[in-house]
């Protein structure tokens, strides 16, 4: 059996002229590094979730994407991060939300999944649990990416909470990050990590850390990692919805994801995209926005890195 893997770095208003060639190349390089990190795990017969986490860690460590180090600033001027993981073999899941100072929230989500009776932990208590389990922290200056701070000040001046790429078209685009993978054992898994909306209400929980909303995995159907305006994703349990459309309505992965992204989410005011892999290793990456940072390695080993 072969493996496949896809990563995304967020969907939104990404314009070629404002992104710039240098920035575009840097983003593509990080996406390449992430897909390679996951591939390395899968190629040696490793687990789908281990691969997804390895990929997301690299995206979190980059200041270019809205997760981990590059997370946007909430309304109170702090970086508050959300992340979730889900394993398709048993639908075990873990998530953390509104945590500060955690270098790799995706590793925190995995600790919740594997070492906690809970599925979802929030806020300072989550931080305490993670640090007690050896998860690495960083001081505030680690998360102080200057362009993010400038962007936050602009969003605050505009008086609204925005996805970082929707502020205006000379903003540099970034977004939620995520990975879905299918390993050689036939298991699928999903991992999603984000800083949420710039200038968001402090304490706001989006879809990313919630199993079924922004992150879902079940070997019988698919694994999904979503990006976009999380409120519509939460209200429609969008990631689990893709699975339900496959299981209950007989749609294939392409049909199910297109229905969610192009019909159901817009009906609730949501715009975004997702990456998904089915039990056979097929990957799709639909998005209802100008662009979505993504890298896909299919079951034949072909790698595609794309933004538009």
Residues that bind its own copies (CB under 8 A): 76, 86, 91-93, 97-98, 116-126, 128-129, 161, 200-206, 210-213, 230-231, 234-237, 240-241, 244-245, 248-249, 268
Q: How far is the CB of 136 from its own copies (least distance, A)?
A: 19
Catalytic residue among 39, 78, 137, 176: 176
The CB-of-86 to its own copies minimum distance in angstroms stands at 8
Asked if residue 40 lies in contact with residue 167, where contact means CB atoms within 8 angstroms, the answer is no
Q: By C-beta, is 239 or 307 nearer to its own copies?
A: 239
Q: How far is the CB of 13 from its own copies (least distance, A)?
A: 18
Cβ at position 125, least distance to its own copies in Å? 3
Distance CA 244, CA 52 (A): 22
Q: Pick from 189, 232, 193: which is nearest to 213 by CA?
A: 232
Kind of pairing between the strands at 92-99 and 120-122:
parallel
Long-range contacts of 247-250 (CB under 8 A, 24+ apart): 247/220, 247/221
List beta partners, residue 8. 178, 294
Q: Is 176 a catalytic residue?
A: yes
Q: Measured between alpha carbons, how far is 92 from 53 in angstroms, rounded to an integer?
A: 15
Output the smallest distance, CB 19 to its own copies, in A.
27
Compute the Cα dihedral for 39, 304, 290, 261 and give only its sign. Answer: negative
DSSP 294: E
Residue 39 vs 192, nearer CB to its own copies: 192
Determine the Cα–Cα distance for residues 84 and 53; give it in Å rounded to an integer. Answer: 10
Cβ closest to its own copies, residue 32 vs residue 235:
235
Classify residue 159 by its DSSP letter: T
Burial string for 166-195 (b: 16+ CB within 10 Å, else e) reads bbeeebbbbbbbbbbbbbbeebbbbbbbbb
Residue in this structure with the two tokens 């992204």, named with its chain if needed:
261
Residues tagged active-site:
176
């Amino acid at each position: 059996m072969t493996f496949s893997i896809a990563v995304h770095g967020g969907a939104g208003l990404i314009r070629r002229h404002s992104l710039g060639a240098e920035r575009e190349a840097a983003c593509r390089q990080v996406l390449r590094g992430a897909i390679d990190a996951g591939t390395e795990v899968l190629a040696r017969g490793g687990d789908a979730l281990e691969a997804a986490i390895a990929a997301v860690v690299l995206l979190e460590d980059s200041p270019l994407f809205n997760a981990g180090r590059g997370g946007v600033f909430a309304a109170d001027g702090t970086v508050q991060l959300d992340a979730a993981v889900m394993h398709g073999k048993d639908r075990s899941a873990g998530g953390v939300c509104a945590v500060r100072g955690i270098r790799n929230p995706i590793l925190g989500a995995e600790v919740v999944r594997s070492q906690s009776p809970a599925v979802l932990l929030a806020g300072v208590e989550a931080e305490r649990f993670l640090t007690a389990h050896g998860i690495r922290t960083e001081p505030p200056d680690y998360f102080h990416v200057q362009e993010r701070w400038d962007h936050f000040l602009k969003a605050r001046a505009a008086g609204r909470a925005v996805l970082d790429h929707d502020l205006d078209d000379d903003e540099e685009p970034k977004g939620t990050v995520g990975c879905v993978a299918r390993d050689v054992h036939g298991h699928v898994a999903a991992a999603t990590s984000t800083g949420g909306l710039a200038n968001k209400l402090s304490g706001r929980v989006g879809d990313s850390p919630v199993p079924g909303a922004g992150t879902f995995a079940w070997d019988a159907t698919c694994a999904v990692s979503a990006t976009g305006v999380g409120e519509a994703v939460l209200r429609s349990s969008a990631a689990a919805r893709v699975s339900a459309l496959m299981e209950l309505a007989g749609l294939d992965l392409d049909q199910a994801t297109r229905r969610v992204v192009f019909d159901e989410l817009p009906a609730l005011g949501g715009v975004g995209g997702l990456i998904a892999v089915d039990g056979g290793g097929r990957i799709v990456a639909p998005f209802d926005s100008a662009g979505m940072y993504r890298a896909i390695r299919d079951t034949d080993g072909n790698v595609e890195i794309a933004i538009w």
